[in-house]
A and B are shown apart, each in its own frame.
Chain A
């Protein structure tokens, strides 16, 4: 017998959960207050990155990376994935020491996807880079994809598997009903045997209603994009001790992001860009690629992201209810993990042991009582 599931939030993780749950025969309704991919999932920098992950996320990122390789067979679209590699550049000897230590740490955990490269190798891979950089940490096979296109592809595949998407409905209330839940939104009610919280920056609200508040803040990483430039960069470039993500698309435009924060307007549910932050970003770019000072910025924007206090997501069962699953708070680096979220949620729904280690992401980590 199929069970009714309501997924709150039609971002990448919500779509991923919807697809995998529909696959398993659940009757899935996804509810979004705007539209699929409106916020973080649709407007992020599109980095597909295992490089520099929190140790707890590495197994998930590697599993997700395998899904990215086979994107077309999963959702019928490659989602614009280009495995051009990513390099975190060291701007000083101190940076180089940090990267060396990072490589050692990752190796000790038994992973070998991050490789230290020296000055010559860096020069070979990034001929356009300023001369002062002593090396970097590279991750071959990482790359970028097209965020909104990704969400759309997953959403459409979920729909083909039977999931129903309801956009423009804001959930305003939730109450227990029988063994499940009744959600109210607009003029409607939605009954569910199982509730999946993929509400991103708005997930904290749901948690509050469910009696398990979490330290989540909405943040707005800013991005800017240039005019079309003739090709000079294949790899995605990051910096070590300042926020930066820098990549050139096939159409010649260059996307600059990496975490400098804008302002979240919680009333209008939008993110605003902030000049000083963008300037800081511009400064980083110009010091790494001096010729970029002549490049024209065409647009800037910011997306609303859920950031947890400890910068790793909440993935797992509710601590209060056995019919609620959480997957939110990816802290501005969840895009790459999207393909794996649905599989984990489906495992949890079917009461199977997830095939990936998710204990570090339990919501219970915020509930440890303080020592007296």
Chain B
């Protein structure tokens, strides 16, 4: 097994910035990414997007160009289209590329595996035609594809508004934005505005998006308190209720894009059993990290949204910090030098993330978007409903590992990615205990399914 100094997983802003920083300090990293092209989700398909009108995707998207250029330095061993299916606490990494399994080892690892969208388990969310706002944006970036018929966007969060304006600029007809931000949330978020002003440019960008939507006359329905998708075998209509109104309203549409913010993708940090904690502010699990973004496992660090949602720009800064941390750990920098080098980055990071408390409060997903009702699927793969999970709690299941034997909840193809947070929260709610106490699925390799044939071969070659 070959041992590398540094292996970075992911080529979003954090992974790319970490690679560049490491290289600057004499480390030649291996950078692994599942996607065929660099950029992560935020700069997805940047080098080859068919959307050539730069105004549609906006300047923030195109700002990823310099990071990608940095990644393409010939000294960096960049390996696209490569899946990581195993990582051990001894830093052995199982890779899968072109149907071939391989093991490598690293002295230091930076996980930059980013975020995923928070599941939004509403009635009908498994119907074809119901997708996420993120998926809509990925289709736009990577294939220049947009909804054919007037689309409904539902939920809350910056990404939903950004997608709406990108659609607007691309000439896509938006039937409505169903905004689930509770009305009292604006007032609650107000007290975080002074802090957020430290990152005024981002705040202003948000205001600009809202203004752009308003000017274009997009139907923006606020205070949506209930939502369901209906259709036979396929989405046909969206129904919603507004706060203070008990009547269902309806829109016919073949495409509904849901969004309820993003959460750290902790699949890999969970599987190596890093210490995780529940972040009540962001309503999500995240690994506990030290000042160099190291986990409690020696030689494994996390940069970017995978360690707690910070946004693309801050993720890049964290990538730089993690890169310095790697240089420190590998003896390329003294503690003094790395601390000095890190100081301005930490400062900029603090400024950039000053907007988080405001966003976290404003877009905190209300309970009805996180806890599915009794008839709605929590686990999409194995088709387990919210009611079934609640019954597991009644039977005495205190945590999500105990429910698996009764319902197969979390045991389908997505390996618990889609239902993990929902089941933890459902059980915590039903048992009236904290999410922290309730815990999370015990995850084990493979992180992505691997065939027996590939596994049998991996040992021969390892």
Residue pair A156, B396 in contact (C-beta under 8 Å): yes
Q: How far is the CA of A282 from the CA of B86 in the complex (A)?
A: 16
Interface residues of A in 187-224 (CB under 8 A from B): none
A84 in the interface (beta carbon within 8 A)? no
**Residues of B close to A282: CB separation below 8 A:** 452-453, 455-456
On whether the beta carbons of A293 and B452 are closer than 8 Å, the reply is: yes
Complexed CA–CA distance, A225 and B408 (Å):
12
In the complex, what residues of A have CB within 8 A of residue B411's CB?
A: 225, 253, 298-299
The one of B86, B273, B415 that contacts A268, using a Cβ cutoff of 8 Å: B273
Chain B residues closer than 8 Å to A297, beta-carbon distance: 446, 449-452, 455
| B4 at interface, CB cutoff 8 A | no
Residue A147 lies at the interface, judged by CB distance under 8 Å to chain B = yes
0/1 interface trace, chain B 434-462, chain A, CB 8 Å (1 if under): 00000000101110011111011111101
Residues of B within 8 A of A251 (CB): 408
Chain B residues with CB under 8 Å of A148's CB are 402, 404-405
A270-B273, A286-B453 as given contacts; A279 in contact with B405, CB under 8 Å: no
Digit string of A257-273 for contact with B (CB within 8 Å is 1, else 0)?
00000000000101011
Instruction: List, in ascending order, chain A residues with CB within 8 A of B405's CB.
Output: 42, 146-149, 152
Report the bound CA distance from A226 to B449 in whole Å: 9
* A35 and B455 contacting across the interface, CB-CB below 8 Å: no
Known interface pairs A148-B402, A156-B396, A282-B456. Does A275 touch B444 (Cβ–Cβ under 8 Å)? no
A286 near B452 with CB under 8 A, answer yes
> With an 8 A cutoff between CB atoms, is A63 at the interface?
no
* Residues on A with beta carbons closer than 8 Å to the beta carbon of B415: 298-299
Which residues from chain B contact A296 at a C-beta distance below 8 Å? Answer: 449-451
Say yes or no: is A175 at the interface (Cβ < 8 Å to chain B).
Answer: no
**B103 in the interface (beta carbon within 8 A):** yes
Q: Check A227–B449 contact: CB distance below 8 A.
A: yes
Q: How far is the CB of B289 from chain A (nearest CB, A)?
A: 19
B94 proximal to A (CB < 8 A)? yes
A101 located at the interface, meaning its Cβ lies under 8 Å from any Cβ of chain B in the complex:
no
B254 to chain A, nearest CB (A): 30
A28 contacts the other chain (CB 8 A)? no
| Residue in chain A with minimal CB distance to B449 | A296
A294 engages B395 (CB within 8 Å): no
B408 cross-chain contacts in A, Cβ below 8 A: 251
Q: B170: shortest Cβ distance to chain A, in Å?
A: 38
Q: Is the CB of A275 within 8 A of B86?
A: yes
Please, which residues of chain B bring their CB within 8 A of the CB of A285?
452
| A-facing residues in B60-90 (Cβ within 8 Å) | 86, 88-89
Query: In the assembled complex, how far is the CB of residue B97 from the closest CB belonging to chain A, in whole angstroms?
Result: 17
Which residues of B lie under 8 Å from residue A295 when comparing CB positions? Answer: 451-452
Per-residue contact bits, chain B 413-450, to A (CB 8 Å; 1 contact, 0 not): 10100000000000000000000000000101110011
B-chain residues with CB within 8 Å of residue A158 when the two chains form the complex: none
B residues 244-273 near A (Cβ < 8 Å) are: 273
Contact A35 B446 (CB under 8 A): no
| Interface bin, chain B | 35 or more
The distance in angstroms between the C-alpha atoms of A300 and B446, with both chains bound, is 7
Which residues of B, 395-412, contact A by the 8 Å Cβ criterion? 395-396, 398-399, 402, 404-406, 408, 411-412
Chain A residues near B273 (CB-CB < 8 A): 268, 270
Distance of A225 Cα from B412 Cα, bound (Å): 11
B452:A272 contact, CB within 8 angstroms: no
Roughly how many angstroms separate A268 CA and B272 CA in the complex, as a whole number? Answer: 12
| CB within 8 Å for A279 and B459 given contacts A227-B413, A298-B411, A298-B413 | yes
Cα A218 to Cα B405 with chains together (Å): 24
Q: Which residues in chain B, 344-401, are within 8 Å of chain A measured between CB atoms?
A: 395-396, 398-399
Number of A residues near B (Cβ < 8 Å) is: 38
Q: In the complex, what residue of chain A is closest to B103 when comparing beta carbons?
A: A275
Number of A-B contacts (CB under 8 A): 94
List the A side residues contacting B456 at CB < 8 Å. 279, 282-283, 286, 293
Instruction: Please measure, in the bound complex, the distance between the C-alpha atom of A300 and the C-alpha atom of B402, giving whole angstroms.
Output: 17
Q: A272-B89, A296-B449 are in contact. Are A278 and B455 (CB under 8 A)?
A: yes
Chain B residue with Cβ nearest A265: B89
Q: Find out whether the CB atom of B451 lies under 8 angstroms from the CB atom of A149.
A: no
Closest Cβ–Cβ distance, residue B196 to chain A (whole Å):
40
Q: How far is the CA of A288 from the CA of B252 in the complex (A)?
A: 54
Complex Cα gap A299–B447 (Å): 8
Interface status of A276 (Cβ within 8 A of chain B): yes
Q: Is the CB of B459 within 8 A of A300?
A: no
B residues near A299, Cβ cutoff 8 Å: 411, 415, 444, 446
Whole-angstrom distance between the alpha carbons of A30 and B117 in the complex?
42
Residues of B within 8 A of A275 (CB): 86, 92, 94, 103, 455, 458-459, 462
Task: Flag A279-320 by CB within 8 Å of B: 1 or 0 each.
Answer: 110110110000011111111110000000000000000000
CA of A156 to CA of B444, assembled, Å: 29
Give the interface centre of A148, A278, A299, A301 by most chain B CB atoms within 10 Å: A299
Report the nearest B residue to A146, measured CB to CB: B405
Complex-state Cα separation, A149 to B453, whole angstroms: 31
Q: Is the CB of A35 within 8 A of B398?
A: yes
Once bound together, how far apart are the Cα atoms of A265 and B462, in whole Å? 23
> When the two chains form the complex, which single residue of B103, B449, B451 contacts A293, counting CB atoms closer than 8 Å?
B451
A302 to B451, CA, bound (A): 19
Residues of the A chain whose Cβ atoms lie less than 8 Å from the Cβ of B103: 275
Across-interface contacts of B89 in A (CB, < 8 A): 272
Residues of B within 8 A of A253 (CB): 411
Residues of A within 8 A of B453 (CB): 282, 286, 293-294
> Could you say which residues of chain B place their CB within 8 Å of the CB of A152?
395-396, 402, 405
Chain A residues closer than 8 Å to B395, beta-carbon distance: 152
- Whether A300 contacts B451 by the Cβ 8 Å rule is no
Which residues of B lie under 8 Å from residue A225 when comparing CB positions? 411
In the complex, chain A residues whose CB is within 8 Å of the CB of B451 = 293-297
Could you tell me the distance in whole angstroms from the C-beta of A75 to the nearest C-beta in chain B? 14
Q: Give B403 Cβ to nearest chain A Cβ, in Å.
A: 10
Q: How far is the CA of A147 from the CA of B402 in the complex (A)?
A: 11
Q: How far is the CB of A195 from chain B (nearest CB, A)?
A: 26
Distance A253 CA – B449 CA, assembled complex (angstroms): 13
Known contacts A268-B273, A272-B89; is A298 also within 8 Å of B455 by CB?
no
Of A283, A286, A292, A300, the contact of B444 (CB 8 Å cutoff): A300
CB pair B445 A300 closer than 8 Å? yes
Chain B residues whose CB sits within 8 angstroms of the CB of A294 once the complex forms: 451-453
A76 to chain B, nearest CB (A): 12
Most buried by A among B413, B450, B462: B450
Q: A227-B413, A282-B456, A293-B456 are in contact. Are A273 and B445 (CB under 8 A)?
A: yes
A–B complex contacts, Cβ < 8 Å, 12 sampled: A148-B405, A156-B396, A268-B273, A270-B273, A275-B86, A275-B462, A279-B455, A285-B452, A293-B452, A297-B446, A298-B413, A301-B444
15 further interface pairs, Cβ-Cβ under 8 Å (given A227-B449, A275-B94, A293-B456)? A35-B398, A42-B405, A152-B395, A256-B452, A275-B92, A275-B455, A279-B456, A282-B453, A286-B453, A292-B452, A295-B452, A296-B451, A297-B450, A298-B413, A299-B415
Partner-A contacts on B (CB < 8 A): 86, 88-89, 92, 94, 103, 273, 395-396, 398-399, 402, 404-406, 408, 411-413, 415, 442, 444-446, 449-453, 455-460, 462
CB-CB nearest 5 A-B residue pairs: A279-B459, A293-B453, A148-B405, A296-B449, A282-B456
